[in-house]
């Protein structure tokens, strides 16, 4: 049975301030929860699942204490879920920990505010083996439940940090700074790179002027049709497929 105070606590984690204070995030659904429970750099805090999920996945939570695993009904899951269609299991996790290291390829996000876009960009970074994503402070929070769901567990493998992006780029300019713009050099002429900060801009405003001024390379995807622009995540995937 789900106690009222616990349901209220889980719902309060929709707020970034409380997620930061508690150092936790929420993940939902069999696929993402299964994958995160297998990750060594993420610690599960508490599991809330219907009996059907536990009957099939009991081994995944066998190492947890009894009070960390809660059997709940479908209606109780609906009460705590952040999804439009709740799916069998919700889990609270401690935020992932990462080993400090130098990264030769970094994806920088300048003001990405759509949760779905941010989660997809983290997933794209994971696909191309990029281990660090650096976001401007104006970007959406990667531990927002909607972002977590969009990452599809890539949140465990890609370190996402928030900082003053111009300062970060200045400090790492020796890697090369590739700004994705409408008026840059076609990516097919750029060739493969072994190091660099690849910058993707805000969904509507693009890359800020301050960061454009720091770019050592301005690159673009050649437009053949009449579309005004590309979705930020789609454009980033195309760029990475050419330069990595």
Beta strands across the sheet bearing 105-110: 159-163, 132-136, 105-110, 196-201, 177-186, 217-220
DSSP state of 218: E
Residue 3 confidence class, pLDDT cut points 50, 70, 90: confident
Residue 13: partners with Cβ closer than 8 Å, 6 or more residues away: 19, 22, 24, 25, 26, 92, 145
Q: What is the mean pLDDT of residues 165-170?
A: 98
Structure tokens at 165: 């992006």
* Mean pLDDT on 153-157: 97
Is pLDDT above 80 for 1?
A: no
The reported pTM is: 0.95
Closest CA relative to residue 129, chosen from 80, 66, 194: 194
Structure tokens given for 21: 């204070």
The mean of the pLDDT values for the chain is: 96
Q: What is the pLDDT of residue 229?
A: 86
Short-list 118, 128, 129, CA closest to 151: 118
Parse the chain into domains and list their residue ranges.
4-94, 105-243
What are the start-end ranges of the E strands in 169-241?
A: 177-186, 196-201, 217-220
> Tokens 């993420």, residue?
42
- Encoding tokens for residue 170? 């200045």
User: What average pLDDT does range 96-123 have in this prediction?
Assistant: 97
Residue with tokens 């779905």: 116
pLDDT in tens, 129-140: 999 999 999 999
**Per-residue pLDDT for 228 more than 90?**
no
In the structure, what pLDDT confidence band is assigned to residue 12 with cuts at 50, 70 and 90? very high
What pLDDT score does 25 carry? Answer: 98
pLDDT, residue 8, reads 96
Question: What pLDDT is stored for residue 195 in this prediction?
Answer: 98
- Residue 2 pLDDT level (bands cut at 50, 70, 90): confident
pLDDT category at 77 given cuts 50, 70, 90 is very high
- CATH class of the region 105-243: alpha beta
Mean pLDDT of 59-84: 95
Architecture of the domain spanning 4-94: 2-Layer Sandwich (3.30)
């Amino acid at each position: 049975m789900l106690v009222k105070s616990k349901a209220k606590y889980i719902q309060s984690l929709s707020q970034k301030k409380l997620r930061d204070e508690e150092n936790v995030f929420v993940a939902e659904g069999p696929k993402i929860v299964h994958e995160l429970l297998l990750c060594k750099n993420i610690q599960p805090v508490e599991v809330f699942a219907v009996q059907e999920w536990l009957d099939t996945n009991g081994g995944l939570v066998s190492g947890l204490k009894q009070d960390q695993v809660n059997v709940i009904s479908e209606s109780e899951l609906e009460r705590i879920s952040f999804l439009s269609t709740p799916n069998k299991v919700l889990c609270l996790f401690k935020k992932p920990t990462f080993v400090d290291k130098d990264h030769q390829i970094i994806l920088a996000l300048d003001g990405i505010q759509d949760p779905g876009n941010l989660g997809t960009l983290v997933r794209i970074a994971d696909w191309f083996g990029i281990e660090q994503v650096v976001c401007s402070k104006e970007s959406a929070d990667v531990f927002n439940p909607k972002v977590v769901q969009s990452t599809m567990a890539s949140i465990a493998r890609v370190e996402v940090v928030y900082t003053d992006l111009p300062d970060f780029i200045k400090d790492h300019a020796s890697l090369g700074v590739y700004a994705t713009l409408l008026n840059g050099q076609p990516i097919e002429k750029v060739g493969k790179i072994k190091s660099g900060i690849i910058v993707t801009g805000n969904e509507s405003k693009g890359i800020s002027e301050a960061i454009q001024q720091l770019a050592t390379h301005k690159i673009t995807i050649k437009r053949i049709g009449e579309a005004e622009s590309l979705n930020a995540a789609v454009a980033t995937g195309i760029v990475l497929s050419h330069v990595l």
